[in-house]
Amino acid sequence: MTADSFPTSGAPLPRGGGASVVVLSILLFAASFSPAQAQKRPPVPADEPLQRIVFGSCAVQDKPQPIWSPILEEDPDLFLFAGDNIYGDTANMDTLRHEYSTLAAKPGYQKLRRTTPILATWDDHDYGANDVGGWYEQKEASEDIFLDFFNVPEDSPRRQRPGVYGAHRYGPPGKRVQVILLDTRYFRDRFEKVELSEKAQKLGFGPYVPNRDPDATMLGAKQWDWLRAQLQKPAAVRLIVSSIQVVSPDHGWEIWSQLPLERSRLFRLIEDTGAGGVLFLSGDVHWGELSRYGGGSYPLYDFTSSALNQEWPQAKNLPNPQRVGDTIYPYPNYGSVTIDWSRDDPQIQLRLHDEEGDSVLSHTVSLSALQPEAE
């Protein structure tokens, strides 16, 4: 195996500078991220099933990141970065490399790289700028830096096409886990934006409303075709990583509901392909929660973990009729997906953990409950 919000104002984070800092950061980047040195832990063998996957999003590189300690104690088979893995917010690629180097210097992240395979997709802040989509002018250069940082092999399909989307499958037949990493930035069209009332702002709602243009896209035509092909491949569990929330209804921030026709298309695609075992993993919003969509042949869960080292207590005001239980956790967190393959009907435990590693949300679903209805 290879390592392949609550939105902010968009202003770059304060950073020291000067030409010497930029040159040093480039040298550190080159020294730290050669593929030969990347993952010292052997890949998960293709014939061994994944049992514990940990994921998270939204890590400010200039702040402490104590959460790596409990993550490492989980001893995961795989770690998934769901986006905003750094906060670059820049069109200057030297600055972007410097911010990645800051993450790479974190002792906890260094240990994670040495011990745990990592897969990643991006969100707006590591892609380029706050809430930006397909119109970002440096997206090609940013993609190259992202793929280099996460040691994506030169012969990977992710190197041969625009966008950072990709997929991997692990484990034997009957216990195979498919990880699908979506790119919700490179091709995405604009959302509609409105002026919020003072009351809505105080409640924490965002400025976006649904864009119902039938030509507006979230993934772009080629990524949609690719996703259809991936969903037709054999797998028992499918973890679809979307940097933004999929199931949660409109709260005014960046979510699939802002392009409702694309969200419906995604749910319809899962139905049409007969893909079972789908679980969405998402980030971005700076709170953790579990949502469930029940309009298909089986429930679609969206497990959100955000942020790794940020908090937004105001999020507790936001309603979500699709939320499972009453837990919305707006403090540093990470998510874990644990699969018990020993049972006749494998059990999947979804847990949200706080900064100390303690569970603040737990939900178990049987694999049999994530299967299309028999015709």
pLDDT digits (tens, 9 = 90+) for 350-366: 999 999 999 999 999 99
* Beta strands 208-209 and 278-282, pairing class: unpaired
Helices (H), the chain: 19-32, 68-73, 93-104, 107-115, 124-127, 139-149, 198-203, 221-231, 260-273
Percentage helix, strand, coil, to 5, in the chain? 30, 20, 50
* Direct distance between the N- and C-terminal alpha carbons of the chain, in angstroms, rounded to an integer: 37
Domain extent at residue 302: 40-370
Q: Classify residue 30: in a domain, yes or no.
A: no
**288 Rama class: left (phi>0) / alpha (psi -120 to 50) / beta:** beta
Collect all residues with Cβ–Cβ distance below 8 Å to 240 and sequence separation of at least 6.
Answer: 180, 182, 246, 278, 279, 280, 281
Q: Classify residue 97: in a domain, yes or no.
A: yes
Cβ 303 vs Cβ 282: under 8 Å: yes
Q: Classify residue 11: in a domain, yes or no.
A: no
Residue 250's pLDDT is what?
Answer: 79
Cα–Cα distance, 77 to 366 (Å, whole number): 21
CA 223 to chain centre: 16
Residue 41's pLDDT is what?
Answer: 52
Tallying the residues shown for the chain, one arrives at 375
Cα–Cα distance, 328 to 259 (Å, whole number): 24
Residue 199's pLDDT is what?
Answer: 85
Q: Can you give the C-alpha Rg of the chain in angstroms?
A: 19
Domain count of the fold of the chain: 1
Cα–Cα distance, 361 to 90 (Å, whole number): 35
Q: Classify residue 27: in a domain, yes or no.
A: no
Cβ 374 vs Cβ 366: under 8 Å: no
pTM (2 d.p.)? 0.90
Residue 44's pLDDT is what?
Answer: 67
In 3D space, the residue among 289, 249, 293, 245 whose CA is nearest the CA of residue 268 turns out to be 293
Q: Classify residue 158: in a domain, yes or no.
A: yes
**Three-state SS for 249?**
coil
Q: Classify residue 350: in a domain, yes or no.
A: yes
DSSP state of 245: B
Task: Please report, for the domain that includes residue 215, its CATH number.
Answer: 3.60.21.70
Residue 373's pLDDT is what?
Answer: 82
CA 51 to chain centre: 19
- pLDDT-flagged residues of the chain (< 50): 1-40
Residue 42's pLDDT is what?
Answer: 55
Q: Classify residue 32: in a domain, yes or no.
A: no
Q: Classify residue 9: in a domain, yes or no.
A: no
